[in-house]
């Protein structure tokens, strides 16, 4: 009889041991799953954040800001760096400076853009309405690198995923900025003197497999006639441009025609407009 009791106790102990062992494995697995979920969630929130803020323009989007003839915008990009999760890098590029330092600096202040955080200035072309505010910024930041169009006879990557088209055009040399974003190419023009469609074709030549997500800036189409404007819009469609945010020297009629054609994908651009690309 004692022998039977002993066998029963042994079986019971073996059962308890097995149960505890299985439970431990299950707990370890759960902990591993939690970690991997966290990693996925972290990497999701660590995607690139890109904002384009119009700081100088003759059109107004924010009533608290001053308008003036010219154009300037700030490109702010926040992206994860390195292998370690949680490390983010912020980059600020000022494209053009408008016609006037006082207006530029006052608008920047109201938009909470601190000149000390600017990494470099990209100048599309040397017209007064794009370089007029340059001295004002350089007084505060004399160390800033200014990329003028003559520095880039050809296309070039300036920082990771940010390119210049290089100087285009015959009479007025102008460069445009191309940003490779998670949504596709973002093309920003100052005045588009070389022709807006030529600039887009240049971008397509540089990146044949990328789609054009957004075209922003001055299109220089103020005096263009209706049939030409219709043909430009049809070229935009052929090039599969998804969104348009024209301002500055694009012309009132051009803006109206683009708005009609693009509907929800037309962005009413002017000083104070913040376009978030996430």
The residues that touch Zn ion, with contacts defined as CB under 5 A, are: 127, 129, 191, 249
For Zn ion, the closer of residues 70 and 184 by Cβ is 70
Minimum CB–partner distance for residue 99 and Zn ion (Å): 9
Q: Least separation, in Å, of the C-beta of 47 and Zn ion?
A: 34
**Rounded to the nearest whole angstrom, what is the least distance from the CB of residue 249 to Zn ion in the complex?**
5
Shortest distance, position 101 Cβ to Zn ion, whole Å: 16
Instruction: Work out the angle at residue 274's Cα, subtended by the Cα atoms of residues 270 and 278, and round it to the nearest 5 degrees.
Output: 140
Listed as own residue / partner, the contacts of 158-163 with beta carbons closer than 8 Å and 24 or more positions apart are 158/120, 158/122, 159/91, 159/119, 162/75, 162/93, 163/206
Vertex 71: Cα angle to 67 and 72 (nearest 5) = 105
Nearer to Zn ion, 163 or 219 (CB): 219
Residue 127 or 202: the one with the smaller Cβ distance to Zn ion is: 127
Alpha-carbon gap, residue 83 to 111, rounded angstroms: 33
Q: Least distance to Zn ion from the beta carbon of 231, Å?
A: 22
Nearer residue to Zn ion within complex by CB, 75 or 221: 221
3-class secondary structure, 230: helix
What dihedral angle (degrees, nearest 10) is formed by the CA atoms of 17, 21, 27, 32?
Answer: 170
Query: How far apart are alpha carbons 142 and 136 in whole angstroms?
Result: 10
Closest to Zn ion by CB, 76 or 173: 173
Cβ density class 239-253: b for 16+ within 10 Å, e for less: eebebbbbbbbbbee
Residue among 78 and 151 whose Cβ is closer to Zn ion: 151
For residue 219, give the nearest of 244, 238, 239, 201 by alpha carbon: 244
- Smallest distance from Zn ion to CB 41, Å: 45
């Amino acid at each position: 009889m004692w022998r039977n009791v002993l066998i029963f106790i042994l079986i019971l102990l073996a059962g308890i041991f097995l149960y505890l062992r299985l439970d431990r494995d299950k707990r370890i697995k759960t902990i591993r799953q939690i970690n991997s979920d966290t990693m996925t969630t972290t990497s999701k929130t660590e995607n690139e954040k890109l904002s384009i803020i119009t700081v100088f323009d003759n059109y107004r989007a924010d009533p608290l800001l001053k308008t003036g003839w010219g154009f300037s915008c700030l490109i702010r990009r926040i992206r994860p760096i390195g292998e370690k999760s949680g490390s983010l890098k912020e980059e600020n590029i000022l494209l053009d400076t408008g016609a006037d330092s006082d207006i530029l600096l006052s608008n920047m202040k109201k938009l909470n853009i601190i000149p000390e955080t600017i990494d470099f200035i990209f100048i599309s072309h040397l017209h007064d309405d794009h370089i007029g505010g340059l001295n004002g910024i350089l007084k505060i930041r004399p160390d800033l690198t200014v990329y003028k169009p003559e520095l880039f006879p050809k296309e070039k990557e300036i920082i990771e995923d940010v390119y210049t088209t290089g100087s285009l055009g015959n009479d007025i040399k102008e460069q445009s900025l191309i940003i490779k974003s998670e949504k596709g190419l973002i093309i920003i023009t100052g005045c588009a003197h070389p022709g807006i469609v030529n600039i887009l074709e240049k971008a397509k030549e540089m990146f044949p497999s990328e789609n054009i997500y957004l075209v922003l800036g001055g299109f220089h189409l103020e005096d263009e006639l209706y049939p030409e404007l219709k043909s430009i819009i049809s070229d935009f469609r052929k090039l599969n441009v998804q969104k348009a945010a024209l301002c500055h020297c694009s012309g009132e009629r051009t803006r109206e025609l683009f708005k009609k054609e693009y509907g929800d994908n037309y962005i009413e651009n002017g000083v104070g407009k913040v376009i978030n690309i996430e």
